[in-house]
Structure 1
């Protein structure tokens, strides 16, 4: 069932209440999500994006209930990733000659995923326009690496709608569709989680693209992303948030992340948390066991933090595999201007703290000299090293 966005623009996507994972198992979905597609019915009829492949046939059938598919004049593919293009083969089987407007990289992406099917691609670049009748146009803006090389946004004049694709979205199911109807705390939490875990590596490009969009001097009344709530109430608030998040974002927070074998490393982690609260009562402290907590939730807290402390015992002359995998993910997110410290227990060889420091430095963190390296179970002599570590971390 389509839902009106504004005037002759409707939402025709899919709300995925049961979705729990995204990008394989890389991203956790805790509050549902949506795949947003949009139908414009002006002088010309335009479909912007589709939905994920598991919902392709339902999408096409629902679309048939709203419109004769042969009335669709143009299809705009803002991004070729499967959650946006998955229903395209089923749709094109019905209307095979319909022009598809997308970037040159999107042609490569779509043909790479679905094969060369002879679709009628119309390649566009930033500044290109498409007349859709009634005095209105679509303006295309390339959004390379936000977050794929093929990404773009589409702006509709007259109604002043920016169809932003993956930028400004959230994995968040909102039946009421609009940001002013959503739970505000969850909305911003999910928007930040989305940025921290997906877009943060591209923050320099985000900052440049925001400047470019602002420089176009286009009035924006609505930002319609491909996931989550549509921004109609003060839509530029999410653009302003992205500008802040892209600028090496941090709050007065320290996140402690660790795994433990026989609780010795856990004891150090908890003592570090207590010492931070003692030295700096206004600093927010978050503590997570990496093996038990949701990794995307942890990374969202790391994104908010000015510093982190990471702990692992030594096992097999190395660190725990749970911590090693988490550190690989940490490095991929390219956090900037944050401090880090390392700690852990060992029985005989004791390499973990040294390895943690190396991996944290390799991930772009400024690693402090202070450390806690405890043989067997930590005692008071080990805990006595924590105040200096904390001082270096929060100074």
Structure 2
């Protein structure tokens, strides 16, 4: 691919990884990903971030179409995670920069990843300004959005915010701008990224958004995915981040389940019927058929989670256990929960599920439902009632009651 000039003398020089599917080792990226880096051509030439290990040559070839990489004076490391800094040692050896700029906590991470004692490192903090000629780069630390070292870079002369992981998505495409891409797919990718990576740091997002809104910007360039250009696009992504961070309940439910001999599956369908009876749209998801990151992406649209599992070794099935453990770590807020399960002899699963959802802070308006062996009319009726009770509780929550 060719470099793309996103502003006068500012170029996208990143890499597009069409085959990447396992993002950070725990989240699926069904459309691949991009590792965005940006080159600023000025009196001092600046490379903003680098790329994933193994992709440095690709990035340097792209830079070479603009200038000799050795003419780069400065490297700015907004974030030390390896998908943005993993090739840093290779790039430093090739470029031989005058200075490398990094946040205070970024420097600690840099020392952990690299033998960098001989590198020309300068530590910066929020409000520090770097003049590079016609432009200034103003640094703003955004700690725990989503790593302690995270930092964004603002270039007021170009109304440009280089935003690190914030406002990013996993999309591998030849398009560089959000307004060029299918909008339904783009919104799904934003939710997928936010709900699997950024969600636990929503309080930090809500603190950071007013800072972003105070800046005079008409472009946000993240380190993954598509660039937001124009005031309309910038407002759209900022508003969407606020909506996701606030986690206001939505009148939609998800029923997630695992099953052994289809008994719990039958119960799951009955729970869905109860939700639908009270007018709550519902998504049914098997944890065997849906990866935990796909379930979290769906949670972006749902104010209720009802989980079901057979009893297995006095507890729940392993895929359900891993899914709920993953969900708990991402700290969803303002949800309503419910639990159900089938069993042959000991019957602990429904109670375990109920307690796991309650431990996430979910409202639990109904007792769990459990069924011995195959569910018949009485058990299925109880599942319908569970769905109705959770659905009604969700509707009240959405209305602020």
Whole-Å Cα distance in 2 between the matches of residues 114 and 88 of structure 1? 9
- Do the aligned residues in 1 keep the contact of 2:340 with 2:383 (CA within 8 Å)? no
- Do the aligned residues in 1 keep the contact of 2:10 with 2:41 (CA within 8 Å)? yes
Q: SS at 1:53's partner residue? A: coil
Whole-Å Cα distance in 2 between the matches of residues 43 and 96 of structure 1? 17
* Alpha-carbon displacement from aligned partner over 1:339-366 (angstroms, at most 9, x marks no partner): 1000010011101111111111112212
- Do the aligned residues in 2 keep the contact of 1:371 with 1:385 (CA within 8 Å)? no
Q: SS at 1:392's partner residue? A: helix
- Do the aligned residues in 1 keep the contact of 2:271 with 2:385 (CA within 8 Å)? no
TM-score (norm 2): 0.94
The alpha carbon displacement at 1:63 in A equals 2.2
Tell me what 1:322 maps to: 319
Tell me what 1:8 maps to: 9
Tell me what 2:167 maps to: 168
Would you say how many aligned residue pairs link Structure 1 and Structure 2?
389
Whole-Å Cα distance in 1 between the matches of residues 281 and 44 of structure 2? 53
Whole-Å Cα distance in 2 between the matches of residues 314 and 250 of structure 1? 30
* Alpha-carbon displacement from aligned partner over 1:154-192 (angstroms, at most 9, x marks no partner): 011111000001000000123120111111111111001
- Do the aligned residues in 1 keep the contact of 2:277 with 2:388 (CA within 8 Å)? no
Counting only pairs closer than 5 Å after superposition, residues 25-174 of structure 1 correspond to structure 2 as: 26-134=26-134, 136-174=135-173
Structure 2 portions without partners, runs of 5+: 393-401
Of residues 361-370 and 70-79 in structure 1, the stretch that sits farther from structure 2 once superposed is: 361-370
Picking from 355, 367, 371, the partner of 1:370 is 367
Q: SS at 1:299's partner residue? A: helix
- Do the aligned residues in 2 keep the contact of 1:303 with 1:335 (CA within 8 Å)? no
Whole-Å Cα distance in 2 between the matches of residues 74 and 144 of structure 1? 23
After superposing on structure 2, the runs of 4+ consecutive aligned residues of structure 1 that deviate more than 4 Å are: none
The alpha carbon displacement at 1:232 in A equals 0.4
- Do the aligned residues in 1 keep the contact of 2:159 with 2:218 (CA within 8 Å)? yes
Tell me what 1:381 maps to: 378
Q: SS at 2:130's partner residue? A: strand
Whole-Å Cα distance in 1 between the matches of residues 64 and 10 of structure 2? 16
1:393 and 2:393 matched: no
Tell me what 1:301 maps to: 298
Whole-Å Cα distance in 1 between the matches of residues 175 and 212 of structure 2? 28
Picking from 299, 318, 335, the partner of 1:338 is 335
1:349 and 2:346 matched: yes
The alpha carbon displacement at 1:313 in A equals 0.5
Tell me what 2:24 maps to: 23
Tell me what 2:398 maps to: none
Counting only pairs closer than 5 Å after superposition, residues 176-255 of structure 1 correspond to structure 2 as: 176-214=175-213, 217-233=214-230, 234=232, 235-255=234-254
Whole-Å Cα distance in 2 between the matches of residues 44 and 326 of structure 1? 48
- Do the aligned residues in 2 keep the contact of 1:102 with 1:121 (CA within 8 Å)? yes
The alpha carbon displacement at 1:59 in A equals 2.0
Whole-Å Cα distance in 2 between the matches of residues 187 and 66 of structure 1? 29
The alpha carbon displacement at 1:224 in A equals 0.2
- Do the aligned residues in 2 keep the contact of 1:166 with 1:225 (CA within 8 Å)? yes
The alpha carbon displacement at 1:33 in A equals 1.3
Whole-Å Cα distance in 2 between the matches of residues 30 and 323 of structure 1? 22
The alpha carbon displacement at 1:231 in A equals 0.2
The alpha carbon displacement at 1:117 in A equals 4.1
Of residues 371-380 and 292-301 in structure 1, the stretch that sits farther from structure 2 once superposed is: 292-301
Q: CA RMSD in A?
A: 1.3
Whole-Å Cα distance in 1 between the matches of residues 34 and 384 of structure 2? 46
The alpha carbon displacement at 1:97 in A equals 4.5
Whole-Å Cα distance in 2 between the matches of residues 97 and 333 of structure 1? 38
Tell me what 2:396 maps to: none
- Do the aligned residues in 2 keep the contact of 1:370 with 1:392 (CA within 8 Å)? no
Q: SS at 1:373's partner residue? A: strand
Tell me what 2:395 maps to: none
* Alpha-carbon displacement from aligned partner over 1:121-168 (angstroms, at most 9, x marks no partner): 11111111111112x211111110010000000011111000001000
Whole-Å Cα distance in 1 between the matches of residues 251 and 270 of structure 2? 19
The alpha carbon displacement at 1:194 in A equals 0.6
The alpha carbon displacement at 1:251 in A equals 2.1
Whole-Å Cα distance in 2 between the matches of residues 68 and 100 of structure 1? 18
